[in-house]
Amino acid sequence: MQFAAFSFDASVSEFFVTLLAGATLVFGDAESLLPGPALAEFLERRSVTMATLPPSALMNMPHAKAGTLMKLVTAGEPLTPGALAPWAGDGREIINAYGPTETTVCATAGVCDPADETITIGRPIDGAEVYILGEDLQPVPAGVTGELYVGGRGLARCYVNLPAATAEKFGPDPFSGRVGARLYRTGDLARWTSDGRVEFIGRRDYQVKLRGFRIELGEVESVLGRDPSVVEAAVVARADGPHGTRLVAYVVPAEGGGAEPHALLGFLREYLPDYMAPRAYVFLDAFPRTPAGKVDRKALPPPDDARVAAGAEYVEPAGELERRIAGIWRDALSLERVGVDDNFFDLGGHSLLVAQIHGRLETALGRTFPLMLLFTQPTVRSLAASLAGSEPEEQFSAETIKDRADLRRASTARRGESRRATRRAGQERSS
């Protein structure tokens, strides 16, 4: 099937692969090629046995109606297990391919095994030379993320009439040993697997720095996409929250997959450091797309209805102390409710908020306690139990808390007046 428009480089592989094999190339009109039931029916009606489709098209098609399709090539965007699973089986071979336009057309490809934990983009095809390099432009070992460079016979010569862009992206190839050989800097991040395949991580320009940590958003998306309850995922660093920049995960869930924030957070923690795991999740039926079919990140909705990765079951705070703690956390994190077993950091809290929370709790409770207690006892229940363990629970009645707050304010005022008097005395002595 000729699916790609002639202005898109993928069209070249579609008609050459077909005609050089002596097969029939099938064309359809705009309506029949629209991803969805119409496209699946078109494949079945025309007995199409091979097609190249982006994962986003697969997610909108009923696979049961494309029974004649025996070889499926996916390309153009990352393939997730959730998008792959419905199309696997029935003897169908699924090939995941990768290649920027500048590499004419693909640079890597490989057969997908749904049983694999990680979906890769395969190995370099004949004629392509692929390198994964670090910041020093030296090859990185297997398992280490670097930038993907492509050379070989398929490499384009230049950007027409754009010498500056050509010089930025096309450079000499120091590895091939051929005079005049060049490499194309893709801007994509990847790593080698132990068996010599390439795992696509994401775009280099999707790198952000959050609270001192450098985070590759594509790596978070890659891991999130491995969860079987997720069909597609996008992770964005957004600065429109009440407490500065935060990671927001946008998820297209698998049908009946039971994707839940708490479960997804737990899955991410198995593979990534805690600071890379988003706490806010927005679930969508489909992602907005650019005309080229890519996820339109700028059009992703603001996370007004984001669900936080709280505990699976809400338990209402009991007792004055638990209610006070939960209320302060709720206000600080701009949430509607906080349960006694919800983790402060899973709710979106971070180290920069801890000092603020600590001060508010000390004022509300009329007493001091170690700041580190908020790190070691991150739930309302555990923090309340720890605080009550150092002083009897009955001392935390509403009246006592108010009395203690008044005493603490009076004590603070006395200490301030004492410091001011000391400063005045020192000034008088120096004069």
Residues 211-308, CATH architecture? 2-Layer Sandwich (3.30)
pLDDT at 424 over 60: no
High-pLDDT (> 90) share of the chain, %: 34
| Three-class SS of the chain | CCCCCCCCCHHHHHHHHHHHCCCCCCCCCCCCCCCCHHHHHHHHHCCCCEEEECHHHHCCCCHHHCCCCCEEEECCCCCCHHHHHHHCCCCCEEEEEECCHHHCCCCEEEECCCCCCCCCCCEECCCEEEEEECCCCCECCCCCCEEEEEEECCCCCCCCCCHHHHHHHEEECCCCCCCCCEEEEEEEEEEECCCCCEEEEEEHHHEEEECCEEEEHHHHHHHHCCCCCEEEEEEEEEEEECCEEEEEEEEEECCCCCCCHHHHHHHHHCCCCHHHCCCEEEECCCCCECCCCCECHHHCCCHHHCEECCCCCCCCCCCHHHHHHHHHHHHHHCCCCCCCCCECCCCCCCHHHHHHHHHHHHHHHCCCCCCCHHHHCCEHHHHHHHHHHHCCHHHHCHHHHHHHHHHHHHHHHHHHHHHHHHHHHHHHHHC
pTM of the model as a whole:
0.63
Q: What is the pLDDT of residue 124?
A: 97
pLDDT at 22 over 90: yes
Residues of the chain within CATH 1.10.1200.10 domain(s) are 320-409
- pLDDT, one tens digit per residue, over 163-180 is 999 999 999 999 988 888
Average pLDDT score, the chain: 82
| CATH of 320-409 given 1.10.1200.10, 2.130.10.10, 3.30.360.10, 3.40.50.2000 | 1.10.1200.10
Of residues 212 and 6, the one with the higher pLDDT is 6
Q: What is the pLDDT of residue 309?
A: 62
Of residues 7 and 147, the one with the higher pLDDT is 147
pLDDT at 427 over 50: no
Residues of the chain within CATH 3.30.300.30 domain(s) are 211-308
Range name among 139-143, 184-188, 318-322 with the lowest pLDDT average? 318-322
